[in-house]
Amino acid sequence: MLREALVVIDVQNDFCPGGALAVADGDAILPAVNALISRFDHVALTQDWHPAGHSSFASSHAGKAPFDSVTMPYGEQTLWPDHCIQGTPGAEFHPGLVWTKAELVIRKGYRTAIDSYSAFFENDHTTPTGLAGYLRERGIEAVTLCGLATDFCVAFSALDAVAAGFKTTVALDACRGIDLGGSMSAQLEKMRQAGVTLV
């Protein structure tokens, strides 16, 4: 049988209702996420972990507003409200997330000059987080992903997981999306085309 791990993406206060970059009904996934955590022997979490003044924040670019886009050295970057700033309550895991059995927490987005959606790579698609190597050393061959947001950090993570050779599933009932300019349907189709199992 495949050695499997659950990767829970960014279930943090700032991505839930009342947070700085709230995903609609983001906290509604908690029962489904917690049920998955209880079922899996191996669990890893990601935590968006930005320094203040991060380059992906609209506030770092004069005349720009959240959800505008800018060209960075690594490509197009959507600008976001300030969110998940290191050490703030917004960056903490949602209090309803039962995450204590997690074996690993991968923090991402901590380099000021580059954003990081994927659990596996920074947005330049070449700087690794170390997650793939960790999973391989543990003998993990398959990953199931859940969390926030479906069309950004979950989708980017799923596409990178497939590219890294992991059998990849996304548990859609344990995800919610932002849907920025049709991003939900576009990313769901990208995941399907790449061979991600959507359940």
CA-to-CA distance for 109 and 99, rounded, in angstroms? 21
Q: Which residue out of 10, 27, 82, 160 is catalytically annotated?
A: 10
95 burial (CB, 10 Å; 0-12 / 13-18 / 19+) is: exposed
Neighbouring C-beta atoms of residue 39, cutoff 10 Å: 11
Q: Which residue out of 14, 48, 82, 108 is catalytically annotated?
A: 108
Catalytic residue status for 10: yes
Q: Which residue out of 16, 153, 160, 175 is catalytically annotated?
A: 153
Spatial CA neighbour of 124 closest among 74, 73, 68, 82 = 74
Token pair listed for 35: 């049920």
Catalytic residue status for 190: no
Catalytic residue status for 153: yes
Token pair listed for 79: 């600008």
Question: Helix 155-163 crosses helix 183-194 at what angle (to 10 degrees)?
Answer: 20
* DSSP conformation class of 91: G
Angle at 182 between CA 178 and CA 186, to 5 degrees: 100
| Active-site amino acid positions | 10, 108, 153
